[in-house]
Chains A and B, each alone.
Chain A
């Protein structure tokens, strides 16, 4: 899955007041449950929980554990030796693609964060006005959001291809946009940004709809220009959605995979952490401990931001 969930959109607006009754009745309600009810409730939680723990959380923990071993993925588990931090040292010292991958992931983040995200927000602000044809504009902008990133790689190939691409034909150049390691990461970023802009626009459109109109009216009465109203009033009020967009952007940059994998499996200028992990597992050389160390690095970075994310949405949810 190339997508981050668009959870944030719901949180753009304070949720409708939950009509949860006061805590007083809790114990009583529990006692009112029959035995069948308790079995049913247990199953309702347990089955999905087992699935998520078994297929997501335990593998995540196993990745961390494996990153400290020298397992080759074939030998019996009893022969696994603990090597401590050696895999991590190797990743940094003797694995040439690691540094470019980190650089590319950071570049990806920077490009989405500094260009695509503000542009998406800007478009959302424009489209939030009562405009004729806003529906057409919105549709056009978020059309790429429904396409998979793998497919986007193919669609842009039609523009980027050296011999048959539109770009070279129009510019009269002879650049292999996907192949040349000096330019291909930028070409890919344009395609990734193409999708990201629509996505961010959607999030902010939902966020802007949730901003109390009286705030803007008050600012207008005070004679504030629209620009300063946005930056001084509207933008700060959208703090939760801003944090969420930040987290989404970080996680999306970390998870970026499909696009480079369809182009060249993440080599030759398109190294990304996600692609390196995959190469080490399904590629010719199966280096489990090594790949796990790379995966653990991704995991740790993502968990930091997931925590920020959860803290934000849960705090909002409790309000």
Chain B
């Protein structure tokens, strides 16, 4: 991409935005942005394209060709890699983890926002920082801990926290809480205080203030966070890789790694598998884009 030659131009567009249509600088800007955007989409586009072509065709004609269209890669990938099962595993982990994270985080955030105690800042720091630590730094003790903690057989056939959905849910909740506490406490701090005064006059307990006053008002923030957290926990790779052993129990993102061996020589299958794994996040992205972006700009947009 010839970015270097183009990058200087847009700087000149500042004054007189009224005469937009004919300004050459605008055209250059659009050409540049369109080129970058297309370049950015290309790897994904290429994956989709490759996944729709038969291996035999691309093996003989090379990848820089057209033809050999087929849907078989998806069928084969789905069956060989048992995607149905792995998607379900991802759901077993993601759905409870997101719900518990949002619940616990909103509890802490509520206390931090509702009361102005000196310890709140420590609490907030403790949660927020936990979310930023490198996971690998905790791996050794956690790995040992998880292999020592027994679970009843009906909870996990490993009878340990290790290699169980419970363990993964716990660790994801512990890690993700910090981010949600941070966002939610900021959001809650901006809610009008009079609400609580009124609720207290009505004799509402702290729990009712939390559940019936604060939480309904936090719906936009919760929706946005839920969108983000679903994406992040679904995408989570490290913990599932190290805290799971049974191949059948891997969530879909980390099962990808196990699949590669099977697909080793067939990029078309790999691409079909990749597209399948990407679909849930892409659906979230396109359907809930507003929530997604809102999650990122929370606190900036609300009045």
Task: Please give, as numbers and ranges, the residues of chain A lying within 8 Å of B116 by CB-CB distance.
Answer: 20, 23, 26
B270 touches A157 (CB 8 A): yes
B140 touches A281 (CB 8 A): yes
Task: Please give, as numbers and ranges, the residues of chain B lying within 8 Å of A155 by CB-CB distance.
Answer: 43-44, 46-47, 271, 274, 278
Is A141 located at the chain interface by the 8 A CB criterion?
yes
Is A317 located at the chain interface by the 8 A CB criterion?
yes
B178 touches A52 (CB 8 A): yes
Name the distance in Å between A131's Cβ and chain B's nearest Cβ.
Answer: 7
Choose from A16, A48, A132, A159 the contact partner of B190 (Cβ within 8 Å).
Answer: A16
Is A309 located at the chain interface by the 8 A CB criterion?
yes
Q: Which of A248-274 contact B (CB under 8 A)?
A: 251, 254-255, 257-258, 261-262, 273-274
A147 touches B104 (CB 8 A): no
How far is B124's CA from A310's CA once the two chains are assembled, in angstroms?
Answer: 9
Name the distance in Å between A20's Cβ and chain B's nearest Cβ.
Answer: 6
B138 touches A10 (CB 8 A): no
Q: A40-B206, A154-B270 are in contact. Are A59 and B141 (CB under 8 A)?
A: yes
Q: A140-B37, A169-B63 are in contact. Are A288 and B140 (CB under 8 A)?
A: yes
Task: Please give, as numbers and ranges, the residues of chain B lying within 8 Å of A21 by CB-CB distance.
Answer: 193
Q: A29-B115, A44-B107, A226-B12 are in contact. Are A277 and B137 (CB under 8 A)?
A: yes
Q: Which of A86-131 contact B (CB under 8 A)?
A: 122-123, 126-127, 129-131
Show 6 residue pairs from A and B whose CB-CB distance is below 8 angstroms, ordered by the A residue: A1-B172, A32-B200, A55-B174, A137-B36, A159-B43, A166-B46
A7 touches B205 (CB 8 A): no
Choose from A13, A56, A257 the contact partner of B299 (Cβ within 8 Å).
Answer: A13
B295 touches A194 (CB 8 A): no
Task: Please give, as numbers and ranges, the residues of chain B lying within 8 Å of A3 by CB-CB distance.
Answer: 232, 235
A60 touches B137 (CB 8 A): yes
Is B91 located at the chain interface by the 8 A CB criterion?
no
Task: Please give, as numbers and ranges, the residues of chain B lying within 8 Å of A229 by CB-CB distance.
Answer: 14
Choose from B38, B174, B273, B296 the contact partner of A206 (Cβ within 8 Å).
Answer: B296
B132 touches A309 (CB 8 A): yes
A56 touches B174 (CB 8 A): yes
How far is B295's CA from A6's CA once the two chains are assembled, in angstroms?
Answer: 8
Q: A122-B7, A310-B128 are in contact. Are A295 and B137 (CB under 8 A)?
A: yes
Choose from A52, A131, A194 the contact partner of B40 (Cβ within 8 Å).
Answer: A194
How far is B11's CA from A254's CA once the two chains are assembled, in angstroms?
Answer: 34
Is A296 located at the chain interface by the 8 A CB criterion?
yes
Task: Please give, as numbers and ranges, the residues of chain B lying within 8 Å of A206 by CB-CB distance.
Answer: 296-297, 300
Residue from A12, A150, A227, A229 with most neighbouring chain B CB atoms (10 Å): A150
Task: Please give, as numbers and ranges, the residues of chain A lying within 8 Å of B241 by CB-CB distance.
Answer: 261
Task: Please give, as numbers and ranges, the residues of chain A lying within 8 Å of B277 by CB-CB distance.
Answer: 148, 151
Task: Please give, as numbers and ranges, the residues of chain A lying within 8 Å of B172 by CB-CB distance.
Answer: 1
B300 touches A6 (CB 8 A): no
A4 touches B206 (CB 8 A): no
Q: A59-B145, A295-B139 are in contact. Are A164 and B58 (CB under 8 A)?
A: yes
How far is B37's CA from A276's CA once the two chains are assembled, in angstroms?
Answer: 36
Choose from A19, A45, A169 the contact partner of B62 (Cβ within 8 Å).
Answer: A169
Give B37's nearest chain A residue, CB to CB.
A140
Task: Please give, as numbers and ranges, the residues of chain A lying within 8 Å of B173 by CB-CB distance.
Answer: 51
How far is B140's CA from A66's CA once the two chains are assembled, in angstroms?
Answer: 9
A52 touches B141 (CB 8 A): no
Is B80 located at the chain interface by the 8 A CB criterion?
no
Name the distance in Å between A126's Cβ and chain B's nearest Cβ.
Answer: 6
Is B2 located at the chain interface by the 8 A CB criterion?
no
- Additional A-B contacts beyond A13-B299, A48-B105, A48-B107 (12; CB < 8 A): A2-B237, A33-B206, A55-B170, A137-B34, A140-B38, A146-B231, A147-B281, A157-B270, A197-B40, A277-B137, A298-B134, A314-B125
How far is B156's CA from A269's CA once the two chains are assembled, in angstroms?
Answer: 38
A146 touches B115 (CB 8 A): no
Q: A60-B138, A169-B63, A227-B11 are in contact. Are A257 and B238 (CB under 8 A)?
A: yes
Name the distance in Å between B49's Cβ and chain A's nearest Cβ.
Answer: 9
A52 touches B140 (CB 8 A): no
How far is B248's CA from A73's CA once the two chains are assembled, in angstroms?
Answer: 27
B-facing mask of A161-188, CB < 8 A → 1, else 0? Answer: 1001110011000000000000000000
How far is B33's CA from A141's CA once the two chains are assembled, in angstroms?
Answer: 10
B300 touches A9 (CB 8 A): yes
Q: A18-B190, A143-B41 are in contact. Are A161 and B206 (CB under 8 A)?
A: no
How far is B282's CA from A38's CA once the two chains are assembled, in angstroms?
Answer: 44
How far is B128's CA from A4's CA once the two chains are assembled, in angstroms?
Answer: 11
Name the distance in Å between A138's Cβ and chain B's nearest Cβ.
Answer: 9
